[in-house]
């Protein structure tokens, strides 16, 4: 074989370097990286494509319905995933010439919400915020648009609809002050936060949370703001995350100065800690309600300065306790009869002295802090939680985390810790995730990019190979092995009481699949082939990595020759120069907990004659030339993969 000399030296160097790099050191916690990586295709997903990509979208989906509404620039899309009907309605700018200084005379739809049994649609309408009710396929002008839509696209715009009340962080007038406010704009008395309460806030979420008594119902407002300590302490982060509580029944203060101000606002630092790492940049919040008010859980998704992520869970009981018992930061005097943050029954207004104290010292001293239940090096942007009842009747919490790379991680919280079981790439081509909505009634996830909305079933058991080991090791509470296939708990429930094999809680001991009468033959065998390899040629053995949490080992005549630890993307063994002692049987064996599987067996044999064959098929000339370019391509690919890792 003749290779040009220069690339050959380089090639060998690369081979040596690559071979030594093929098994990168495993991450501190392999369970935090996705075990299986898939692109969704034939997993029961359905797609709705917009046609040309949009520049901006807002997604609306009502729980339990088959449809989505998408607000875009100057138009509204509707799509029904059950019967694939859709329509598109123009929402053109109605006012010309525009009010805008910056020529942005578009009508970006920014809000779609159910309000008083109608779909409320609001848009920027060329700096002239306008709302419509969408009734029986017709637009009706809605009179109170102030504060419901911003004057231009604004990432800090948050709207909370609660019965007849609407709360908003959107400016009512184009030239209002710079410091954003949280207002009640419709329903009960109009109220706003004072400039003392928040410094340059960036809002994350607002939610209504019930408490023991109706008059005690609270609004929790989650935001980041300028850290007052960062001027004194140069290592302190510039911004800090907060949870604020306000009484839903706040009627303003008793004095004329405080009559239209929130008088029950108090805020606390919200922190998520993983070992000695602090995560103080709140990214998203998801609330899981409980019939017992104090057990309602608030899931906070945080990132740190390295853009690593962590998830913490806070109970409403604990947050409420902090606000009820903590002293006010900076205040040492006696508290007034009506404590700051206290909700009052009936028509009572907050006494002026209570308001003044809370307005001067809006922060409580104690922090709301928890230990992370999950953390890793990915940068997540959105979190949704689903509670699923597994085959054993136990309910598990599953986190759906949207990454900044357009994928979703499914993380199962088990008593032994959280496991990242799956990475899904939901879109046809890689795209940024704009919005994720989880439908607990339909058990589906609606994921939107600027080009499409995808409806994904939460139980995607097709992601796992149809073998008992693959299905059970997935640790996916939605899936279990039954009747010779990997079935979803939802389908299974309809099939009566056949046992569903799952191994969610016992991650030790024996192979539960071996006891299954319906274990398929694929477990334990796998691909088997004979390959003729010429002497002095190069060859590589490729083992398909299914689980990124498993150990893969290549054996040559039963002697281990390459060990690939969890976290690798490939487990490839290179033979640089085929010599007599290198012929024989090579097998790749995957090992994960109790499960062992032979994935590939290749029997490398010498050619019968002098005829040189490459992988049995190619004649000498093509073998030589093909193999050089092939090897360069392969090395390039591996180098790229390694750089990405």
- Return the SS3 of 422: strand
- ∠ Cα 90 426 153 (to 5°): 40
Cβ(473)–Cβ(593) under 8 Å? Answer: yes
Contact 568, 24 (CB under 8 A): yes
C-beta of 55 vs 577, nearer to ligand NAG: 577
Binding mask 73-102 toward ligand NAG (x if CB under 6 A, else -) reads -------x--x-x-----------------
Stretch that binds ligand NAG, among 166-174, 190-198, 250-258, 524-532 (CB under 6 A): 524-532
Stretch of 366-374, 461-469, 546-554, 624-632 lying at the interface with ligand NAG (CB under 6 A):
546-554
Q: How far is the CB of 141 from ligand NAG (least distance, A)?
A: 25
User: Rule CB under 6 A: is residue 377 a binding residue for ligand NAG?
Assistant: no
Window contacting ligand NAG (CB under 6 A); options: 206-214, 255-263, 333-341, 547-555? 547-555
The residue among 80 and 237 lying less far from ligand NAG, judged by its C-beta, is 80
Q: Does 304 bind ligand NAG (CB under 6 A)?
A: no
Decide: is 72 part of the binding site for ligand NAG (CB under 6 A): no
In angstroms, how far is CA 216 from the centroid of its own chain? 32
Total chain residues near ligand NAG (CB under 6 A): 32
Tell me whether residue 20 or residue 102 sits nearer to ligand NAG (CB atom).
20
Binding of ligand NAG at residue 528 (CB under 6 A)? yes
Strand pairing category for 444-448 and 452-457 = antiparallel
Q: Which is nearer to ligand NAG, 155 or 393 (CB)?
A: 393
Does 4 interact with ligand NAG (rule: CB under 6 A)?
no
Among 7, 53, 327, 484, binds ligand NAG (CB under 6 A): 484
Using rule CB under 6 A, residue 509 touches ligand NAG: yes
CA-derived radius of gyration, the chain: 30
User: According to CB under 6 A, which one of 295, 518, 625, 645 is a site residue for ligand NAG?
Assistant: 518
Query: Any idea which residue has 């990595």 for tokens?
Result: 545
| Separation between Cα atoms, residue 591 and residue 566, nearest integer Å | 10
Contacts to ligand NAG from residues 23-62, by CB under 6 A? none
Shortest spacing between CB 182 and ligand NAG, in angstroms: 36
CB 546 within 8 A of CB 36: yes
Give φ, ψ of 501 to 5 degrees: -80, 120
C-alpha–C-alpha distance, residues 70 and 75, integer Å: 8
Q: In DSSP terms, which residues pair with 79 in a beta bridge?
A: 68, 86
Q: Would strands 75-80 and 584-592 be described as parallel, antiparallel, or unpaired?
A: unpaired
Q: Does 645 bind ligand NAG (CB under 6 A)?
A: no
Which region among 119-127, 229-237, 502-510, 615-623 touches ligand NAG (by CB under 6 A)?
502-510
Residue 496 interacts with ligand NAG (CB under 6 A): yes or no = yes
Q: How far apart are CA 454 and CA 464, in angstroms?
A: 20
Instruction: State which residue, 66 or 150, has the beta carbon closest to ligand NAG.
Output: 66
Query: What x-and-dash track marks residues 583-622 binding ligand NAG by CB under 6 A?
Result: --------xxx---------x-------------------
**Which residue, judged by CB position, is nearest to ligand NAG in the bound state?**
484
Cis peptide before 618 (omega within 30 of 0): no
- The Cα 254–Cα 355 span in angstroms is 9
How far apart, in whole angstroms, are the C-alpha atoms of residue 118 and residue 87?
18
List binders of ligand NAG among 395-454 (CB under 6 A): none
- Closest approach, Cβ 410 to ligand NAG, in A, equals 19
Q: 41, 256, 332, 508: which one contacts ligand NAG (CB under 6 A)? A: 508
Nearest-angstrom CA–CA distance, 479 and 398: 13
| In contact, 30 and 548? CB cutoff 8 Å | yes
Strand order across the 452-457 sheet? 46-49, 452-457, 444-448, 435-439
Helix, strand, coil: what percent of the chain each, to 5?
Answer: 15, 40, 45
Tokens of 9: 């030296």
Does 515 interact with ligand NAG (rule: CB under 6 A)? no
Smallest separation (angstroms) from ligand NAG to the CB of 509 = 4
Residue 579 binds ligand NAG (CB under 6 A): yes
- 167: helix, coil or strand? strand
Binding residues vs ligand NAG (CB under 6 A) = 80, 83, 85, 483-484, 496-497, 505-506, 508-509, 517-518, 528-530, 536, 542, 544, 549-551, 565-566, 572, 577, 579, 591-593, 603, 634
């Amino acid at each position: 074989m003749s290779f040009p000399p220069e690339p050959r030296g380089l090639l060998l160097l690369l081979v040596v370097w690559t071979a030594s790099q093929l098994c990168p050191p495993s991450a501190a916690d392999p369970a935090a990286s996705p075990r299986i990586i898939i692109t969704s295709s034939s997993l029961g997903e359905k797609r709705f494509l917009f046609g040309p990509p949009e520049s901006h979208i807002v997604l609306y989906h009502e729980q339990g319905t088959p449809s989505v509404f998408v607000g875009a620039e100057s138009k509204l899309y509707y799509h029904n995933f059950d019967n694939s009907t859709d329509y598109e309605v123009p929402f053109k700018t109605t006012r010309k010439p525009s009010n805008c200084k910056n020529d942005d005379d578009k009508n970006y739809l920014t809000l779609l919400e159910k309000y008083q049994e109608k779909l409320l649609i609001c848009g920027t309408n060329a700096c002239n915020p306008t709302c419509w009710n969408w009734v029986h396929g017709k637009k009706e002008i809605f009179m109170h648009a102030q504060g419901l839509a911003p004057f231009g696209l604004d990432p800090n715009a948050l709207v909370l609809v609660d019965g007849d009340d609407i709360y908003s962080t959107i400016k009512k007038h184009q030239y209002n002050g710079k410091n954003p406010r949280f207002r009640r704009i419709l329903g009960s008395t109009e109220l706003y936060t004072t400039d003392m309460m928040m410094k340059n806030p960036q809002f994350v979420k607002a939610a209504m949370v019930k408490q023991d008594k109706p008059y005690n119902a609270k609004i929790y407002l989650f935001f980041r703001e300028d850290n007052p300590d960062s001027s004194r302490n140069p290592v302190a982060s510039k911004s800090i995350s907060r949870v604020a509580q306000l009484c839903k029944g706040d009627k303003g203060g008793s004095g004329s100065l405080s009559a239209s101000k929130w008088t029950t606002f108090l805020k606390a630092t919200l922190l998520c800690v993983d070992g000695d790492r602090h995560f103080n940049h709140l990214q998203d919040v998801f609330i899981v309600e409980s019939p017992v008010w104090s057990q309602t859980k608030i899931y906070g998704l945080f990132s740190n300065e390295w853009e690593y992520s962590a998830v913490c869970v806070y109970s409403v009981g604990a947050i409420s306790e902090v606000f009820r018992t903590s002293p006010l930061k900076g205040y040492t005097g006696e508290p007034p009869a009506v404590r700051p943050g206290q909700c009052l029954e009936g028509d009572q207004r907050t006494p002026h002295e209570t308001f003044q104290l809370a307005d001067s010292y809006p922060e409580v001293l104690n922090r709301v802090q928890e230990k992370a239940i999950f953390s890793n090096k990915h940068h997540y942007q959105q979190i949704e939680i689903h509670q699923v009842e597994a085959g054993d009747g136990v309910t598990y919490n599953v986190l759906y985390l949207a990454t900044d790379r357009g994928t979703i991680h499914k993380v199962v919280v088990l008593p032994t810790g959280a496991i990242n079981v799956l990475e899904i790439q939901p879109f046809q081509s890689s795209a940024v995730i704009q919005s994720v909505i989880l439908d607990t009634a339909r058990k589906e996830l609606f994921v939107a990019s600027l080009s499409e909305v995808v409806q994904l079933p939460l139980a995607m058991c097709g992601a796992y190979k149809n073998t008992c080991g693959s299905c059970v090791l997935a640790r996916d509470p939605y899936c279990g092995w039954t009747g010779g296939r990997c079935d979803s708990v939802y389908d299974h429930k309809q099939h009566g009481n056949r046992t569903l094999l799952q191994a969610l809680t016992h991650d030790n001991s024996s192979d539960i699949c071996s006891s299954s009468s319906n274990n398929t033959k694929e477990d334990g065998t796998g691909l088997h082939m004979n390959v003729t390899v010429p002497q002095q040629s190069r060859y590589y053995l490729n083992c398909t990595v299914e689980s990124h949490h498993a150990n893969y080992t290549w054996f040559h005549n039963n002697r281990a020759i390459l060990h690939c630890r969890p976290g690798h993307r490939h487990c490839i063994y290179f033979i640089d120069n085929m010599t007599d002692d290198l012929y024989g049987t090579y097998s790749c064996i995957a090992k994960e907990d109790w499960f062992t599987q032979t994935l590939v067996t290749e029997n490398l044999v010498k050619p019968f004659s002098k005829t040189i064959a490459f992988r049995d098929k190619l004649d000498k000339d093509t073998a030589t030339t093909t193999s050089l370019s092939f090897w360069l391509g392969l090395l390039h690919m591996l180098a790229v993969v390694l750089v990405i890792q």
